[in-house]
Amino acid sequence: MRLLVSLVCALPLAAFAQDAKKEIEKYQQMLGEGSPAELWEVQGEELWKKPQGPKKASLERCDLGLGPGKVAGAYARLPRYFKDTDKVQDLESRLVSCMTELQGRSPKEATQRVFGNADRPAEMEYLVAYIVGQSRGHKMAVPNSHPKERAAYELGKKVFFYRAGTWDFSCASCHGETDKRIRMQDLPVLSEREGAQKAYTTWPAYRVSNSQLKTMQWRINDCYRQMRYPEPEFASEATIALTHFMAVTANGAPYRGPGTKR
Amino acid sequence: MRVLTFALALAAPLALAEPSARHVEEIHVRDFHTKGIVKREAVAQDGILRICTITNDRPPAALAQVLEADQLKTIPFPAGSLMGDWKRGENIAQSGRGMTWTDPAGTPNGGSCYNCHQLAAKEISFGTLGPTLLAFGKKRGSGADVQKYVYGKIYNAKAYNACSQMPRLGWSGTLTEQQIRDLVAYLLDPASPVNQ
């Protein structure tokens, strides 16, 4: 009898949870259809072509890995090793290199405001939106053959599973098991192909809760904030390695960003 | 001694391409900085997290026992009843605020319990990273032993499961003694919505 009562009580709740999940999926689908990210892409292209810095140069000769000025498909092949800097770089750190080399800006000036807000987005966010938009539909093909790329991948994997911070978390604490969620939010397993392909390919993204386009460096930064860690340095070796590990894991899937998120 | 030798052997890199555990920690300490209330030191590992990371959260049983006994010593169990006020406990379980670098110092922290656990049946927005705690007290009663276990588990979960993913909420300074007592009541009090 008691079992029956609890079954009867549990059923409408389970149905309600299912409905809520369906509503969220519908909302996400709606968000994916027309994206405010396109406005960022247009402004980013203008900034890409605008002469700036002491050298009064634009970024149009910037080499994102496919040769100077080649933007189409470049993001689907990042992070990668760059010979001129002798480093594995993600999109954002590569943009900083181009700002300093081509435009003559100091690294300090180029990185002083990399995360904007709804009232005043950052130059970096506009540029990132433009460049990643030029990889939409391109298959992820992030190289992992240069020794420094392989080292970044191995380090990134270690960073993913490293446990520390005020609350003892690693990335895997939340993104390590399938079909888990925080409150109602589903959590992709980013260390495995299926999860990485599903999630990595939708970032950077326009985030409705921030009314703004957010970059991958920001995504990682805000994860660490919520993990109760201290703050990672912008475009540090640890964050680039982590990005490289997730990007290589997502290889083979078409890049779908910049998407729209809750 | 055997435990120590084992831990040292594990600390060695498994393949040449893999960076050593020590190197990975050094990179973290170098690449993170203090912001707001969160100090850079928090990115370094203590002994237990170092072993959990190296063993993929599966330390050998003998080592786990030693680690758990060590963690148990960190828990200052208050004397007498550990049951606080379940109504206050509910607010603490619901709140996910506190301890991030954007939280001002001195604001009360939440326990973030619902982020990972199901508790009261009426709350359908719950996470699934931790086990369900639905009817926790109804199943176990609210005797002194159960109270003590729940208080200890919230204060330092690693005293009961060395590589538990649950934060050490008392040990880390997240929750106060009174807040943990209120959570004990939220889980165990027969009047609490958790047990309805």
Decide: helix, strand or coil at residue B66: helix
pLDDT in tens, B56-93: 999 999 999 999 999 999 999 999 999 999 999 999 99
B145 vs chain A: nearest CA distance in angstroms? 26
DSSP one-letter code for B109: P
A252 vs chain B: nearest CA distance in angstroms? 24
Between residues 109 and 168 of chain B, which touch chain A (CB distance below 8 Å)? 114-116, 121, 124-129, 158, 165, 167-168
Per CB-CB distance under 8 Å, the chain A contacts of B124 are: 13, 16-17, 20
Q: Where are the domain boundaries for CATH 1.10.760.10 in chain B?
A: 86-195
| B86-195 CATH pick, 3.40.50.300, 3.30.70.2190, 1.10.760.10, 3.40.50.460 | 1.10.760.10
What tokens were used for B135? Answer: 């009817």
Per CB-CB distance under 8 Å, the chain B contacts of A155 are: 19, 24, 27
pLDDT in tens, B90-107: 999 999 999 999 999 988
Q: What is the mean pLDDT of residues B136-163?
A: 97
Per CB-CB distance under 8 Å, the chain B contacts of A17 are: 124
**What is the per-residue pLDDT for A18?**
64
pTM: 0.90
Cis before A230? omega within 30: no
Instruction: Compute the mean pLDDT over every residue in chain B, rounded to the nearest whole number.
Output: 93
Distance separating alpha carbons of residues A181 and A185, to the nearest angstrom? 5
DSSP one-letter code for B193: G
Question: Which chain B residue shows the shortest CA-CA distance from A14?
Answer: B124
Write the secondary structure of chain A as one string of H (helix), E (strand) and C (coil): CHHHHHHHHHHHHHHHHHHHHHHHHHHHHHHHHCCCHHHHHHHHHHHHCCCECCCCECCCCCECCCCECCCCCCHHHCCEEECCCCEEECHHHHHHHHHHHHHCCCHHHHCCCCCCCCCCCCHHHHHHHHHHHCCCCCECCCCCCCHHHHHHHHHHHHHHHCCECCCCECHHHHHCCCCEEECCEEECCCCCHHHHHHHHCCCCEEEHHHCEEECHHHHHHHHHHHCCCCEECCCCHHHHHHHHHHHHHCCCCECCCCEEEC
Domain limits of chain A? Answer: 36-261
Neighbours of B177 (CB within 10 A): 15
**pLDDT of B15 over the 80 cut:** no
Distance separating alpha carbons of residues A190 and A246, to the nearest angstrom? 6
Smallest Cβ–Cβ distance between A164 and the set B45, B56, B127 belongs to B45
Distance separating alpha carbons of residues B25 and B46, to the nearest angstrom? 11
Q: Is the CB of A158 less than 8 angstroms away from the CB of B18? A: yes
ipTM value of the model?
0.92
Please check whether residue A170 touches B, CB under 8 A: yes
Name the architecture of domain A36-261.
Orthogonal Bundle (1.10)
Per CB-CB distance under 8 Å, the chain A contacts of B27 are: 155, 159, 237-238
Decide: helix, strand or coil at residue B38: strand
The one-digit pLDDT tens for each residue of chain A (262 residues) are 344 434 444 444 455 556 666 666 665 665 556 678 889 999 999 999 999 999 999 999 999 999 999 999 999 999 999 999 999 999 999 999 999 999 999 999 999 999 999 999 999 999 999 999 999 999 999 999 999 999 999 999 999 999 999 999 999 999 999 999 999 999 999 999 999 999 999 999 999 888 899 999 999 999 999 999 999 999 999 999 999 999 999 999 999 989 888 7
Smallest Cβ–Cβ distance between A229 and the set B25, B32, B53 belongs to B32
- Compute the count of residue pairs across chains A and B with CB atoms less than 8 Å apart: 127
φ/ψ (deg, to 5) at B33: -135, 160
Question: Which chain B residue shows the shortest CA-CA distance from A184?
Answer: B125
Decide: helix, strand or coil at residue B33: strand
**What is the per-residue pLDDT for B13?**
46
Catalytic residue positions of A, numbered:
223
Per CB-CB distance under 8 Å, the chain A contacts of B56 are: 161
Residues forming beta bridges with residue A213, ordered by sequence position = A206
A94 vs chain B: nearest CA distance in angstroms? 18
